[in-house]
Amino acid sequence: MEKSLIIALDFAGKQEVFQFLKQFNDEKLFIKVGMELFYQEGPSIIYDLKEKGHDIFLDLKLHDIPNTVKGAMKGLARLGCDLVNVHAAGGKEMMEAALEGLEAGTVAGQGRPFCIAVTQLTSTSEEQMQEEQLIHVPLEESVLHYAALAKTAGLDGVVCSPFESKQIHHLMGESFLTVTPGIRLKTDHVQDQKRVATPEFAKSEGVSAIVVGRPITKSENPLEKYIEIKRSWEGVHQ
């Protein structure tokens, strides 16, 4: 889990996914399956990717009443994912229920998936947060508040941006995971992301894992782009 580069496979179906993965030969990847793919293909996409030896972050960002989240997590635990998530805005009781569900659904002999909480989406700016969510504190304070809530609930870490990672580790401990989307090389389009940073910056801030989607999946040469991003994330330069 630590220092992983997670590729977000935001594709509409299995066919596109396996066509895309062909380019990576037999490399075992850390793959993020999100709503777009999971809502089309369901659990079978997880089984297929696990069978190929990939690690899976199932990014469904659960946010509902505690009982519903507990039941959903019980089912997700059986899929054998490595990492799942909820929205911290669902509250401490909901996050505790998520963990209870995961523990109840984890198959004997397998570890339970790591569970992290989304703090403020990387597509949210401070201005949007204040005007649309009516949260009248600096964005970093909101992220740190949600991270502390997640920690109190017993979660393993958070989704945040690289800008908040160092302070989260300082307050919550180095083993508390910071998983950061919104990663772009300087030459990449930012698209709908607001809190964007390079892999090098993420590394310098002690981020636990980066999530990269379109810069790789929409690239003319995805394998080359993956290698370029991986090198700058791992600090290996030729």
Q: Which residues are annotated as a binding site?
A: 10, 32, 59-68, 122, 184, 193, 213-214
Binding of residue 157 to ligand LLZGTKA7 (CB under 6 A):
no
The CA-CA-CA angle for residues 107, 44, 116, to 5°, reads 55
Beta strands in 46-164 (DSSP E): 55-62, 83-87, 114-118, 157-159
Give 32's DSSP letter.
Answer: E
CA nearest neighbour of 22 among 231, 225, 222, 213 = 222
- Of 5, 17, 34, 207, the one binding ligand LLZGTKA7 (CB under 6 A) is 34
Write the single-letter amino acid at 29.
L
Q: From the annotation, which residues make up the binding site for substrate?
A: 10, 32, 59-68, 122, 184, 193, 213-214
- Of 90, 212, 229, 232, the one binding ligand LLZGTKA7 (CB under 6 A) is 212
Binding of residue 144 to ligand LLZGTKA7 (CB under 6 A):
no
For ligand LLZGTKA7, the closer CB: 66 or 182:
182
- Of 122, 142, 165, 208, the one binding ligand LLZGTKA7 (CB under 6 A) is 122
Do the Cβ atoms of 32 and 216 come closer than 8 Å? Answer: no
Write the single-letter amino acid at 135.
I
CA nearest neighbour of 146 among 174, 114, 119 = 119
CB within 8 Å of 220: residues ≥ 6 apart: none
As given in the structure block, the two tokens for residue 200 are 């090098």
For ligand LLZGTKA7, the closer CB: 59 or 156:
59
Q: For residues 102-121, which are near ligand LLZGTKA7 according to CB under 6 A? A: 118, 121
- Enumerate the active-site residues: 61
Return residues touching ligand LLZGTKA7 (CB under 6 A): 8, 10, 32, 34, 59, 118, 121-123, 159, 181-182, 191, 193, 211-215
